[in-house]
Structure 1
Amino acid sequence: MQPRTTEDGTTVYVSETDGDKGSEGPFLVAYESRDAGRRYGWFCTNCESFDNAMDSMGRIKCNRCGNFRKPTEWDAAHE
């Protein structure tokens, strides 16, 4: 895992293997500690940002570059 520093100065650890494909580049999981005991959030590899949002259906969108992961959950009521 690679240590990275967030905008507020917190050190988090980004997995090099745990993540999901995005439209512009992968989103990798970031953890609060090297032992991966607790997730911190997502790291956008396209712009190297932690400024991402996830909705209840599993969509991830980077607020900086627009990198996007499709939803992992589908609700048939919306089709």
Structure 2
Amino acid sequence: MLTVERDDGETLYVAEDEGERGQDGPFFVVYGTPERENRWGWYCSNCESVDNAMDSMGRIKCNVCGNFRKAEEWDSAHE
């Protein structure tokens, strides 16, 4: 499992076998422990950052490089 260290020194664990397709590269699930007990967020493989956001529709956007995953479910009423 890949590890990433945050600015505050916290170590995060990237599950490279749990990913979602992004337009510039996959996003991988990040955990706070190597045992995968608590899900922390997402890792952008395009720029190797954990600085990203997911909205209620399931869209993921990297705040560093702009890598983007479309919504899991799309409904024109939300646009």
Distance in 2 separating the partners of 1:21 and 1:9: 28
In the TM superposition, structure 1's runs of 4+ consecutive aligned residues that sit over 4 Å from their partners are none
Gaps in structure 1 of 5+ consecutive residues: none
- Give secondary structure in 2 for the equivalent of 1:77: helix
Q: What is the number of equivalent residue pairs in this alignment?
A: 79
Cα RMSD for the two superposed structures: 1.2
Q: What's the CA shift string for 1:44-65, capped at 9, x where partnerless?
A: 0100001001100000000000
Q: Using structure 1 for the length normalisation, give the TM-score.
A: 0.92
Fraction of identical pairs, as percent: 59
Unmatched tracts of structure 2, length 5 or more: none
Whether 1:14 aligns to 2:11 is no
The worse-fitting range, judged by mean Cα deviation, of 69-78 and 5-14 is 69-78
TM-score normalised over the length of structure 2: 0.92
What CA distance in whole angstroms lies between the structure 1 residues aligned with 2:52 and 2:73?
18
Distance 2:41 2:71 in 1: 16
